């Protein structure tokens, strides 16, 4: 929510959250701690916690590497390399959770001390507990590992290659008529080791990349300006995401991208489209049939499905910050709560290759999987972790526990939540052909939703008017407002799997103190009938 | 250890600077102790305390700069950090917008540190949670809240002789109280430098009253209404506007302060003549450090005077290019108000909506500063000077620029999130749809 999608206005690009110590780019290539040493550090904590009376313990040894390359026009504004390393120990003692973390832990004494501290905190807080923690059983997996299937490690790509790419992108934008352009490459590598008293020792290597830009063009006569942001997606991939391949392109009114992103091609389109936007017709407010591209729909799914179906929100644990949820337990228990139309199948998933949420095991040692949330329109499940699943009658966790750092306590976070592709063959052009009065929206824009996830308003990057089955030109000043249940019930068609693509964000925020999480949302282009569109033009 | 004195900090910074072989070097040294307690469903969910002490070194050769960070303080580690920063700088591309470091500066003194907050311990935090949960339990209400206290220091020095040090404390408390059936909700937030000013019980009681009073809200048609925005609600929109006063964006033609055909609206009357907004690090209600993170002094700056835009914020590069004083962006602001209380504002309203909090505010159009968002945790209908009944939450689409031209009245300013803001009575505030959320 708070940070999800992040409004990458031109002015906001350099404001990037930086976590960890600044290091040289070469330091990012140094191998982390050897896995045998990690096991020794973990065992020391597991043993220390047990001897102090813990009934359950998990240890997370994390090394988090991040690199940001930030440019505008012909200048490199900043290159940031950070590394953060430490160990977090979580225990249950006297029926209560306790957590302690230690930075730069390199010895068994360090991790044992953190474990002892965690037990002491658990025992102190146990007095405030109403009921003891009820943890779903989990089998141990022994010594196992998981690596994101990347082809080219982003951290091994020379800085010069990245700078040349971005400055080339900026140059292309300016040559095609833009007045200003900002571009950024974000790269993340999480090296995570998890061990628990259940007998798991899990070593995982996770990679993410997100290339973005924002192009601005000003009309000197009117003083108006328009922006267009990248149609890229943040992905769980290596630098190969930036290798362009014709099969990863979705052609149409503008090119969109699947598993490979042509940043240069996209910025040229963006520069031209900002000029087109300046001259576009201002939308007439009213009801329209909306055709929503996956580059746009991911954020609507995130806000109106992903968040309300997080069990901690449903129960009230986020009431003072992110809010609660309209999707209360009684609605789920009724087995007939009509979340959407029959066309709507929404699922949670922690396994999809290339997605931001994909891992082998979650941050409490649960093997990841896929499960249904809404089946043919009916609410069937939530997202829950080990200490919650008993509330929804499940015997095992769904595997969506995550902490954004070794120093943060893991808690329930959103899995990739996606709209299943339609089962009947249907292309985007076939879908548009049937629309009499509609708007085709590409890219994510302004987004806002209430604290129980009923009422929302979304904008986009590109809006095209659909008249009698034809695209009639570009529109501007468009935003649509709806209510979650009404909106998903207005879904009449979903294109087939040929059009299925992922969108997502690095910055989904939740909790106090706040933690961020990266999450993807997939869909094919979908049609929603009779949605209320407002005109956002104002005069000041 | 985490909170160093001015002398201890200077000693470390001087030692680091002595290792420098670069053209220019700057050193930032920060330390903090922060604690928190979180509760929900009338029970404590998490609590913790953490310490941090960190040193960051920036080395510069010509227009190339590099930064390295460390949290170990022996001579060997300090020297290693200096060498690493120098090595990164040599490899970095030139930044054509680099501006040489500042020399010695004079900073205003400000009292940002209060011992009462620095003394906060786990027992204090547990008591705050108890004082907030207990009255709710007794009235069959549910509390979810969060307290965070911080004591920190920031010291900076550079090879040109600049040195600055500031020690500060802060405490932030918020609680959401909901009725047992989930049909009523109230919220309160408080922030102070001085924990002695925080009364968790009295604050929670305000949220409890709002929760009870907002049960069974009626639906009103969306449209244009006269609204009274409590300070918590008013702050969000005005703060967004204050974050958009960057001179470079205005000069480049992509800001609400840009003028058609080029130039900016500096000196133009953009708001009602009762609107005055300034910043002042020595303000007793919201004291701030006397300097910015880049070493520029923070002084009293008037941003809007009687409705006229008087100043914009500059980066040092942009100010140098434009040949003007490099006024840094403010760290919190003060909007002057009137003498009326919130109750007086309600009393003087024929027909209107009392908005206690806004939520999920996002920019819709950067050119007009149009924002959308929703009301939350207690919205009420006012008729003939009295609160008549609770109303369902609305979605709004409104610009603070338009809002501050439709100003009817202002009350006494209050501190919210590090700024001072009065309750605002605004006519023709635009609500575009209804929300079922409580």
Query: Within this chain, do residues B202 and B297 fall inside the same structural domain, yes or no?
Result: no
What is the complex's ipTM, to 2 decimals? 0.95
Say if the Cβ atoms of B178 and A103 lie within 8 Å. Answer: no
| Contacting residues of B for A163, CB less than 8 Å apart | 93
DSSP string covering B224-286, please?
A: EEEEEE-HHHHHHHHHHHHTT-BHHHHHTT-STTB-TTSSB-TTSB-S-TT--EEE-TT-SSS
Whether residue B437 is contained in a domain is answered as yes
User: Which residue ranges form the domains of chain A, and what is each CATH number?
Assistant: 10-279 (3.30.2290.10), 282-535 (no CATH)
Q: What is the mean pLDDT of chain A?
A: 94
| Contacting residues of B for A451, CB less than 8 Å apart | 359-360, 374, 376, 437
Specify the DSSP class assigned to residue A154.
G
Say if the Cβ atoms of B374 and A450 lie within 8 Å. Answer: yes
Characterize the bridge pairing of strands A281-282 and A470-476.
parallel
Nearest to A455 among B43, B178, B374 (CB): B374
- Expressed as residue numbers, the domain containing B164 is 6-211
Say if the Cβ atoms of A448 and B374 lie within 8 Å. Answer: yes
Whether residue B425 is contained in a domain is answered as yes
Say if the Cβ atoms of B41 and A316 lie within 8 Å. Answer: yes
What digits encode the pLDDT tens for the residues A147-195?
999 999 999 999 999 999 999 999 999 999 999 999 999 999 999 999 9
| Interface check A483 vs B, CB under 8 A | yes
Window 220-259 of A: residues touching B by CB (8 A cutoff) are 220-225, 227
- The count of structural domains within chain B is 2
Question: Which of B193, B211, B229 lies at the terminal end of a domain, its last residue?
Answer: B211
CATH number assigned to the domain comprising residue B99: 3.30.2290.10
Query: Within this chain, do residues B151 and B293 fall inside the same structural domain, yes or no?
Result: no
Query: Within this chain, do residues B15 and B138 fall inside the same structural domain, yes or no?
Result: yes
Question: Which of B160, B184, B211 lies at the terminal end of a domain, its last residue?
Answer: B211
Query: Within this chain, do residues B143 and B236 fall inside the same structural domain, yes or no?
Result: no
Angle between helices A263-279 and A159-175 in degrees, nearest 10: 30
Query: Within this chain, do residues B238 and B356 fall inside the same structural domain, yes or no?
Result: yes
Query: Within this chain, do residues B248 and B195 fall inside the same structural domain, yes or no?
Result: no
Query: Within this chain, do residues B346 and B249 fall inside the same structural domain, yes or no?
Result: yes
Say if the Cβ atoms of A316 and B261 lie within 8 Å. Answer: no
Query: Within this chain, do residues B234 and B178 fall inside the same structural domain, yes or no?
Result: no
What digits encode the pLDDT tens for the residues B71-117?
889 999 999 999 989 998 998 899 999 999 999 999 999 999 999 99
Nearest to A317 among B40, B261, B361 (CB): B40
Q: Give the residue on A whose Cα is nearest the Cα of B98.
A: A77
Nearest to B360 among A124, A450, A459 (CB): A450
Interval B118-135 mean pLDDT: 94
Say if the Cβ atoms of A21 and B69 lie within 8 Å. Answer: yes
pTM of the model: 0.96
Question: Which of B211, B230, B258 lies at the terminal end of a domain, its last residue?
Answer: B211
| Interface check B48 vs A, CB under 8 A | yes
- How far apart are the C-alpha atoms of B168 and B153, rounded to whole Å? 6
Give bridge partners of residue B241 from the DSSP assignment: none
Q: Do B359 and B373 touch, CB atoms closer than 8 A?
A: yes
User: Which positions ≥6 away from A79 have C-beta within 8 Å?
Assistant: A25, A67, A68, A69, A70, A159, A163, B92, B93
| Contacting residues of A for B434, CB less than 8 Å apart | 455
Give bridge partners of residue B66 from the DSSP assignment: B59
Whether residue B321 is contained in a domain is answered as yes
Q: Tell me how close the Cα of A492 comes to any Cα of chain B, in angstroms.
A: 24
Winning range, highest mean pLDDT, from A27-36, A507-516, A527-536, B85-94: A527-536
Nearest to B254 among A1, A216, A483 (CB): A216
| Contacting residues of B for A159, CB less than 8 Å apart | 91
What digits encode the pLDDT tens for the residues A67-97?
999 999 999 988 888 888 999 999 999 999 9
- How far apart are the C-alpha atoms of A327 and A239, rounded to whole Å? 39
pLDDT of residue B122: 86
Whether residue B175 is contained in a domain is answered as yes
Whether residue B341 is contained in a domain is answered as yes
Query: Within this chain, do residues B102 and B207 fall inside the same structural domain, yes or no?
Result: yes
| Contacting residues of B for A124, CB less than 8 Å apart | 122
What digits encode the pLDDT tens for the residues A18-64?
567 777 777 777 777 899 999 999 999 999 999 999 999 999 999 99
Whether residue B30 is contained in a domain is answered as yes
Query: Within this chain, do residues B96 and B235 fall inside the same structural domain, yes or no?
Result: no
Say if the Cβ atoms of A180 and B259 lie within 8 Å. Answer: no
For B312, other C-beta atoms within 10 Å of its C-beta total 23
DSSP string covering B344-407, please?
A: HHHHT-SEEEEE--EEEEEEEETTTTEEEEEE-S-EEEEETTEEEEEB--EEEEE-HHHHTTSE
Nearest to B395 among A315, A481, A512 (CB): A481
Query: Within this chain, do residues B392 and B281 fall inside the same structural domain, yes or no?
Result: yes
Window 380-419 of B: residues touching A by CB (8 A cutoff) are 393, 395, 397, 399, 401-402
Q: Give the residue on B whose Cα is nearest the Cα of A23.
A: B68
- How far apart are the C-alpha atoms of A396 and A520, rounded to whole Å? 23
Q: Do B155 and B29 touch, CB atoms closer than 8 A?
A: yes
Whether residue B1 is contained in a domain is answered as no
Query: Within this chain, do residues B260 and B141 fall inside the same structural domain, yes or no?
Result: no
């Amino acid at each position: 929510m708070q940070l999800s999608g992040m409004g990458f206005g031109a002015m906001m690009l350099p404001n990037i959250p930086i976590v960890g110590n600044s290091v040289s780019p070469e330091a990012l290539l140094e191998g982390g701690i050897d896995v045998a040493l990690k096991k020794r550090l973990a065992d020391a904590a597991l043993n220390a916690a047990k001897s102090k009376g813990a009934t359950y313990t998990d240890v997370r040894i994390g090394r988090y590497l991040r690199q940001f390359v930030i440019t505008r026009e012909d200048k490199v504004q900043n290159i940031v390399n950070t590394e953060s390393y430490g160990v977090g120990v979580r225990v249950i003692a006297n029926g209560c959770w306790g957590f302690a973390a230690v930075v730069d832990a390199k010895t068994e004494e360090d991790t044992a001390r953190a474990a002892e501290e965690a037990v002491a905190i658990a025992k102190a807080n146990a007095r405030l507990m109403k009921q003891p923690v009820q943890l779903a059983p989990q089998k141990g997996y022994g010594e196992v590992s998981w690596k994101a299937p990347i082809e080219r490690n982003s951290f091994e790509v020379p800085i010069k290659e990245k700078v040349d790419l971005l400055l080339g992108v900026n140059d292309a934008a300016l040559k095609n008529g833009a007045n200003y352009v900002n571009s950024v490459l974000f790269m993340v590598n999480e090296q995570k080791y998890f061990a628990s008293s259940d007998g798991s020792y899990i070593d995982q290597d996770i990679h993410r990349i997100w290339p973005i830009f924002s192009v601005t063009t000003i009309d000197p006569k009117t003083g108006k300006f328009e922006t267009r942001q990248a149609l890229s997606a943040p992905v769980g991939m290596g630098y190969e995401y930036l290798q362009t391949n014709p099969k990863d392109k979705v052609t149409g009114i503008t090119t969109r991208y699947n598993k490979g992103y042509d940043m240069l091609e996209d910025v040229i389109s963006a520069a031209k489209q900002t000029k087109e936007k300046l001259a576009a017709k201002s939308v007439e407010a009213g009801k329209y049939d909306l055709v929503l591209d996956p580059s746009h729909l991911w954020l609507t799914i995130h806000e109106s499905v992903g968040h309300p179906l997080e069990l901690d929100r449903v129960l009230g644990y986020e009431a003072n910050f992110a809010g609660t949820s309209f999707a209360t337990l009684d609605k789920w228990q009724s087995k007939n709560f009509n979340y959407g139309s029959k066309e709507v199948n929404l699922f949670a998933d922690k396994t999809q290759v290339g997605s931001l949420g994909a891992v082998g095991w979650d941050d409490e040692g649960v093997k990841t999987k896929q499960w249904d949330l809404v089946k043919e329109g009916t609410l069937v499940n939530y997202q829950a972790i080990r200490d919650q699943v008993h509330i929804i009658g499940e015997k095992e966790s769904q595997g969506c526990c995550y902490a954004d750092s070794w120093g943060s306590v893991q808690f329930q976070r959103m899995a990739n939540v996606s709209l299943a592709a339609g089962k009947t063959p249907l292309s985007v052009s076939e879908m548009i052909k049937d629309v009499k009065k509609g708007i085709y929206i590409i890219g994510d824009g302004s987004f806002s939703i209430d604290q129980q996830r009923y009422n929302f308003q979304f904008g986009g990057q590109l809006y095209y008017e659909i008249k009698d089955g034809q695209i009639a030109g570009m529109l501007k000043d468009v935003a649509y407002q709806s209510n979650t249940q009404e909106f998903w019930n207005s879904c009449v068609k979903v294109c087939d799997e040929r059009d299925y693509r992922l969108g997502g964000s690095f910055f989904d925020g939740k909790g106090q103190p706040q933690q961020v999480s990266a999450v993807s949302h997939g869909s094919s282009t979908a049609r929603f009938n009779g949605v209320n569109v407002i005109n956002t033009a104002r005069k000041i | 250890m985490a909170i160093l004195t001015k002398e201890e900090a200077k000693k470390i910074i001087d030692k680091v600077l002595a290792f420098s072989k670069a053209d220019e070097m700057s050193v930032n040294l920060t330390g903090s102790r922060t604690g928190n307690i979180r509760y929900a469903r009338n029970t404590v969910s998490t609590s913790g305390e953490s310490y941090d002490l960190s040193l960051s070194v920036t080395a510069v050769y010509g227009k190339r700069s590099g930064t390295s960070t460390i949290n170990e303080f022996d001579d060997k580690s300090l020297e290693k950090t200096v060498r690493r920063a120098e090595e990164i700088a040599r490899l970095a591309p030139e930044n054509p917008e680099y501006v040489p470091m500042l020399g010695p500066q004079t900073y205003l003194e400000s009292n940002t540190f209060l011992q009462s907050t620095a003394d906060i311990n786990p027992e204090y935090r547990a008591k705050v949670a108890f004082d907030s949960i207990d009255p709710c339990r007794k009235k069959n209400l549910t509390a979810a809240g969060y307290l965070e206290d911080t004591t920190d220091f920031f010291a900076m020095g550079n090879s040109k002789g600049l040195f600055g040090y500031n020690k500060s404390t802060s405490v932030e408390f918020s609680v959401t109280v909901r009725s047992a059936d989930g049909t009523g909700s109230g919220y309160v937030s408080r922030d102070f430098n001085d924990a002695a000013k925080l009364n968790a019980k009295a604050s929670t009681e305000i949220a409890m009253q709002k929760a009870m009073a907002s049960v069974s809200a009626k639906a009103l048609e969306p449209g244009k209404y006269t609204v009274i925005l409590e300070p918590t609600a008013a702050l969000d929109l005005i703060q967004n506007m204050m974050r958009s006063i960057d001179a470079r964006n205005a000069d480049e033609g992509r800001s609400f302060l840009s003028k058609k055909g080029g130039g900016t609206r500096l000196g133009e009357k953009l708001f009602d003549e009762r609107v005055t907004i300034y910043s002042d690090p020595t303000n007793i209600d919201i004291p701030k450090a006397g300097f910015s993170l880049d070493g520029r002094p923070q002084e009293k700056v008037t941003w809007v005077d009687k409705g006229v835009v008087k100043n914009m914020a500059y980066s040092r590069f942009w100010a140098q290019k434009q040949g003007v004083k490099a006024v840094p962006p403010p760290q919190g602001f003060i909007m002057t108000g009137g003498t009326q209380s919130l109750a007086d504002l309600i009393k003087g309203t024929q027909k209107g909506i009392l908005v206690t909090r806004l939520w999920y505010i996002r920019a819709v159009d950067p050119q007009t500063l149009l924002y959308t968002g929703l009301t939350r945790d207690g919205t009420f209908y006012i008729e003939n000077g009295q609160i008549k009944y609770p109303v369902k939450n609305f979605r709004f689409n409104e610009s603070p620029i338009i809002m501050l031209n439709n100003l009817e009245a202002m009350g006494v300013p209050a501190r919210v999130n590090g700024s001072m803001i009065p309750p605002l009575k605004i006519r023709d505030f635009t609500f575009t749809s209804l929300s079922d959320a409580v």
